[in-house]
Structures are given as structure tokens and as C-alpha cells.
């Protein structure tokens, strides 16, 4: 057995025993030790938004590490994290202008929950501590973040560790049973938040957290904008902080720099990770609106929370370099490749095995179902997600697979989340490989599909 574990799967095994061994990577290409070139159509776990080995990154590592790599941010300051905070404040929506650094998406969400709790404690509302989130969401693997996570597969077995918080229906138009126009359905879905706040008691609820566009559990799902208008109003009415988890959707993944820009609504906090450094170093952050940060400046206010590596100058210098590269042109390139993928994958729109074909900018989600009419997912033992993933990998394309939820409320799926800098030729290769893979798997499992 290998000494090293591979995340989320068996010890030492990863998704399968013989994982491809990568020798090096450039742009959207991963090159194995055997010299095979794979297209990274998922940017790893939707991380390397600028692609691999971006020119100039080596000089940043060299100059910052020979200057200073690490400082304890409790005791020292440095240009690199200060500059990054200024940039994030300028480029994020509204007055999300104060930054708290962390090292992973999970840590960013943990910090946001504690910030929410302290914010209310400082205002004398000491009972407000409950976090409301949605089913079919992913907010991280640590206990607080997992408590908010609504992915039943990832929660399974750890329920006894988790906080007694609340979950509402996902923002998942494909499987909504609300009546009316898309706008009416969106408002009805959002009003579940109000019902849950009232049931639990507004005096106990601190925050609502949501991925603005669905990620790892239900990729590329997006509600009508009325959903977030309603969420904002409800949060304001009941004095609940709205946390947008942009760990996956941030930095151009869904088109604009941040997915909340689709909706024109400013959350009270926004958590960032992944694309913040495009995977060159681990780093994440919580952006906080002025009125929230203000509560931490009073005499006696405190926030006894932090991580050793937070805001280290090396990661901050890398993030400064990376964030500067999310120019309008790069964001537009991402959107153009998203449009190209959608048009070249058109053959899958009416495919008997594809229940939902969704896209938001360069993020595409295919949800597989055994019956398009009833939207019934495949039996988990069919491992459709893995078969399509394997077929695409055999065709030289790495995609991001996902199992359906254990309660049968979401089907197996495949996410495409390529670097924004993907070439047109690679986008075509991805589309061809995915169509061919879905068709190949379909031919094998046809008896399980109701047409």
C-alpha cells in the first residue's frame, strides 16, 4: 500500500488503484510519466483557472522566497498581504472591503461562521449562532464547514460530530417542484429560508451560507436572480448575515470575476479559495463588509481565531500575481470557451441519458438520469459518473465526476471547469471526448435507461 493517501477515496487508492502519475503540466495540459498528454478540463478541482506553469510565476516564487516567505500575521505586517487585501477590496462587489486570510476553502467558511457569531455577540445578540445552508451544497470537510455542507454522501458517518444547524432546499431549478414562472419558483424556494428562520427562532440564527452557483454537488445550477434578491431581503429583515461561498465560483469560473455579480446582490461576507492563487499555493480568504468589520473595532471586541500560515507573504505574492491576471480579456476568454463548449456539446442536450445540461460561463454540468421523464437517477451501483469519467480519461480528457446524492435527490454528474485560458482547439477536443464518452457509456447501459 502506498504511504500517501489520496483524498476522498480509499487509502492509497484515489478514485482507482492505478492513478495516472503526472510528470509535468503546462497551460491546460497534464503530461503523464508515460508521456501521454491529458487535457485538464476541470482545472483540477476547479482551481487552476489560469492553467498550469503560467509564465512569470517562477520569478514570483524566487523573488518572494528570497525576500521573506513566512511571517506571523499576529505580530508583523508585510506589503504582499496588504496589497492583496487592497486588490480584493477594489475588485469585489459593494463594500466587501475587509479581508481575513485562511488557507483552504473549509477554513474560510469556518472563519466566516465564527465571524458571524462574534459579530452578533458584540452587538449583544448572544444567542445568534445557528447557520442555515442548503442541501446538495459543499462548504468543506472540517466539522463546521461539514455541518453546513448539504452533500449527504460527504456528511455520512460524521453526523454525530456535526452542529445542530438547518438546511433548506437547494437552488436547483431542474428538480424544483415549485409552481409558476422561473421567477416565482425562485422566490418560493428562497422563502424556505424565511420559514426556517422563523421555525428555528430569528434570535438564534446568525447566518445563511450558499454557493451562488452550484458547485461540486450540483455543478452549474443557477436560480433566477429573484432568488438572491429574496435571500437578501429575508436576511435583512431577520438580521441574519448572508455568506456567499465563492470558493469555487470566484475568479471567473462562472463568467464574471465573482458569481454574485450575476445577481447584483452584495452578501455580507464572501469566502474565496481555489482560483485565488490558481493552485500555485494554498490560500483562501473571507471578505467582510464594512458594517460587519466595524463591530470588531469596538473596545472589548475580539476575534480569537486564526491559522499559522494565514496570509503568509509567499502565498500573498503569488495571489497578487494571479489576481492581476484575471483581466477583462481573460474573463472574456473564459466566457467564450464556455459558449463554445455549450454549442459543441449541443448533441447531448436531448440525449436519453442526460437529464440536465447546465452551464454558467466556463462551468458546465451534465446530470445523468435513468429516466428523463421522471428525472430518476441511476442506481448508484451502475457508477455512471465513474464510467463517463473513465471513458473521457481514456480519450485524453480529465473531467470532474460526481456521485448522485445518497437520498436519490440528485443524479450522478460530470463537471467541466477548464482553465479560462483554454484554447479553442482544446475546447473542441473536450467536447468531442465528452460526447463520445457519454454515447459509449449509454450503449453499454442502455437496458437501464427509460426512453
The DSSP 8-state label assigned to residue 160 in this structure reads G
Residue nearest ligand PMP, Cβ-based: 105
- Where does this chain touch ligand PMP (CB under 6 A) — which range of 60-68, 134-142, 370-378, 390-398? 134-142
Rounded distance between C-alpha atoms, residue 337 and residue 423, angstroms:
8
What minimum distance in Å lies between the beta carbon of 353 and ligand PMP? 25
Q: State in angstroms the smallest separation of the CB of 215 from ligand PMP.
A: 4
Q: Which is nearer to ligand PMP, 185 or 254 (CB)?
A: 254
Q: Render 257-308 in DSSP notation, one character per residue.
A: SSGGGGTT---SEEEE-GGGTTTSS--EEEEEEHHHHHGGGSTT-------T
Number of residues that bind ligand PMP (CB under 6 A): 15
Q: In the complex, what is the shortest distance from the CB of residue 373 to ligand PMP, in angstroms, rounded to a whole number?
A: 31
Q: Considering only residues 104, 122, 221, 254, which one is a binding residue for ligand PMP as defined by CB under 6 A? A: 104
Residues 152-211 that bind ligand PMP (CB under 6 A): 211
When the beta carbons of 107 and 344 are compared against ligand PMP, the nearer one is 107
Q: Contacts for 336-339 with beta carbons within 8 Å, 24 or more apart?
A: 337/362, 337/418, 337/420, 337/422, 337/424, 337/427, 338/255, 338/362, 338/363, 338/364
Residue 408, C-alpha cell as written in the block: 436519490
Q: Which stretch binds ligand PMP (CB under 6 A): 10-18, 125-133, 136-144, 150-158?
A: 136-144
Binder among 247, 260, 293, 415 for ligand PMP (CB under 6 A)? 247
Cβ pair 362, 420 in contact under 8 A: yes
Q: Among 105, 250, 279, 404, which residue sits at the site for ligand PMP (rule: CB under 6 A)?
A: 105
389-427 burial string, b = 16+ CB within 10 Å, else e? bbbbbebbbbbbbbbbbeeebbbbbbbbbbbbbbbeebb
Q: How far apart are CA 30 and CA 22, in angstroms?
A: 7
Helices assigned H by DSSP within 56-139: 57-67, 79-91, 105-122
Candidate residues 213, 248, 384, 410; the one interacting with ligand PMP per rule CB under 6 A: 248
Contact call for residues 149 and 136 (beta carbons, < 8 A): no
User: In terms of residues, how long is the chain?
Assistant: 451
Q: Considering beta carbons, is residue 7 or 425 the nearer one to ligand PMP?
A: 7
Selected from 216, 259, 269, 285, the binder of ligand PMP by CB under 6 A is 216
Residue 252 interacting with ligand PMP (CB under 6 A): no
Q: In whole angstroms, what separates CA 258 from the centre of its chain?
A: 11
260 versus 433: smaller Cβ distance to ligand PMP: 260
The binder of ligand PMP chosen from 100, 138, 227, 321 (CB under 6 A) = 138
437 and 67 in contact (C-beta within 8 Å)?
no
At its nearest, how many Å lie between ligand PMP and the CB of residue 320?
Answer: 20
**What are the two backbone dihedrals, phi and then psi, of residue 384, each rounded to the nearest 5 degrees?**
-60, -40
**Residue 151 within binding range of ligand PMP, rule CB under 6 A:** no
Closer to ligand PMP by Cβ: residue 216 or 260: 216
**Residue choice 215, 311, 338, 361 for contact with ligand PMP (CB under 6 A):** 215
Choice between 357 and 400, CB closer to ligand PMP: 400
Q: How far is CA 35 from the centre of its chain?
A: 31
**18 DSSP 8-state letter:** S
Binding mask 3-42 vs ligand PMP (x if CB under 6 A, - otherwise)? Answer: ----------------------------------------
**CB 106 to ligand PMP: min, Å:** 3
Read off the DSSP letter of residue 409. S
Q: CB 211 → ligand PMP: shortest distance, Å?
A: 5
Residues 264-283 that bind ligand PMP (CB under 6 A): 273
Q: How far is the CB of 105 from ligand PMP (least distance, A)?
A: 2
Characterise 383 by phi-psi region: left (phi > 0), alpha (psi -120 to 50), beta (else): left
User: Is residue 139 part of the contact set for ligand PMP (CB under 6 A)?
Assistant: yes
- What is the Cα–Cα distance from 54 to 57, expressed in whole angstroms? 6
Burial of 90 (0-12, 13-18, 19+ CB in 10 A): exposed
Grid cell, residue 32, equals: 503523464
Residue 238 Cβ, how far from ligand PMP at the closest point, in Å? 24
* Site of interaction with ligand PMP (CB under 6 A): 45, 104-106, 109, 138-140, 211, 215-216, 245, 247-248, 273
Amino acid at each position: 500500500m502506498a504511504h500517501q493517501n489520496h483524498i476522498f477515496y480509499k487509502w492509497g487508492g484515489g478514485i482507482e488503484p492505478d492513478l495516472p502519475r503526472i510528470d509535468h503540466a503546462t497551460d491546460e495540459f497534464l503530461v503523464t510519466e508515460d508521456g501521454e498528454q491529458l487535457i485538464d478540463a476541470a482545472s483540477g478541482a476547479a482551481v487552476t483557472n489560469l492553467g498550469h506553469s503560467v509564465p512569470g510565476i517562477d520569478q514570483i516564487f524566487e523573488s518572494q522566497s528570497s525576500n521573506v516567505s513566512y511571517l506571523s500575521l499576529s505580530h508583523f505586517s508585510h506589503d504582499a498581504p496588504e496589497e492583496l487585501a487592497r486588490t480584493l477590496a477594489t475588485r469585489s462587489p459593494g463594500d466587501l472591503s475587509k479581508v481575513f486570510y485562511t488557507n483552504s476553502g473549509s477554513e474560510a467558511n469556518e472563519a466566516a461562521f465564527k465571524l458571524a457569531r462574534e459579530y452578533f455577540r458584540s452587538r449583544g445578540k448572544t444567542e445568534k449562532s445557528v447557520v442555515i445552508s442548503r442541501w446538495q451544497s459543499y462548504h468543506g470537510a472540517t466539522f463546521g464547514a461539514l455541518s453546513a455542507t448539504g452533500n449527504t454522501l460527504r456528511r455520512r458517518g460524521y453526523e454525530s460530530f456535526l452542529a445542530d444547524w438547518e438546511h433548506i432546499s437547494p437552488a436547483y431549478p431542474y428538480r424544483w417542484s415549485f409552481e409558476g414562472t422561473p421567477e416565482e419558483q425562485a422566490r418560493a424556494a428562497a422563502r424556505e429560508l424565511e420559514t426556517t428562520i422563523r421555525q428555528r427562532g430569528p434570535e438564534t440564527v446568525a447566518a445563511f451560507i450558499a454557493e451562488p452557483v452550484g458547485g461540486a454537488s450540483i455543478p452549474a445550477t443557477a436560480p433566477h436572480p429573484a432568488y438572491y434578491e429574496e435571500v437578501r431581503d429575508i436576511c435583512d429583515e431577520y438580521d441574519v448575515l448572508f455568506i456567499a461561498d465563492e470558493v469555487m465560483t470566484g475568479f471567473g469560473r462562472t463568467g464574471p470575476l465573482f458569481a454574485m455579480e450575476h445577481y447584483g446582490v452584495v452578501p455580507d461576507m464572501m469566502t474565496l479559495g481555489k482560483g485565488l492563487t490558481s493552485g500555485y499555493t494554498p490560500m483562501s480568504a473571507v471578505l467582510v463588509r464594512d458594517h460587519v468589520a466595524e463591530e470588531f473595532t469596538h473596545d472589548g471586541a475580539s476575534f480569537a481565531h486564526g491559522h499559522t500560515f494565514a496570509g503568509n507573504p509567499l502565498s500573498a505574492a503569488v495571489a497578487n500575481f494571479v489576481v492581476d491576471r484575471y483581466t477583462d480579456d481573460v474573463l472574456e476568454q473564459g466566457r467564450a470557451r464556455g459558449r463554445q463548449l455549450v454549442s459543441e456539446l449541443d448533441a447531448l442536450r436531448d440525449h436519453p441519458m442526460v437529464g440536465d445540461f447546465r452551464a454558467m460561463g466556463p462551468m458546465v454540468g451534465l446530470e445523468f438520469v435513468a429516466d428523463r421523464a421522471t428525472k430518476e437517477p441511476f442506481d448508484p451501483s451502475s457508477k455512471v459518473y465513474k464510467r463517463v469519467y473513465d471513458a473521457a480519461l481514456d480519450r485524453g480528457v480529465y473531467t470532474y465526476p460526481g456521485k448522485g446524492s445518497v437520498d436519490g435527490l440528485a443524479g450522478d454528474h460530470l463537471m467541466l471547469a477548464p482553465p479560462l485560458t483554454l484554447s479553442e482547439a482544446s475546447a473542441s477536443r473536450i467536447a468531442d471526448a465528452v460526447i463520445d464518452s457519454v454515447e459509449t457509456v449509454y450503449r453499454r447501459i442502455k437496458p437501464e435507461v427509460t426512453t
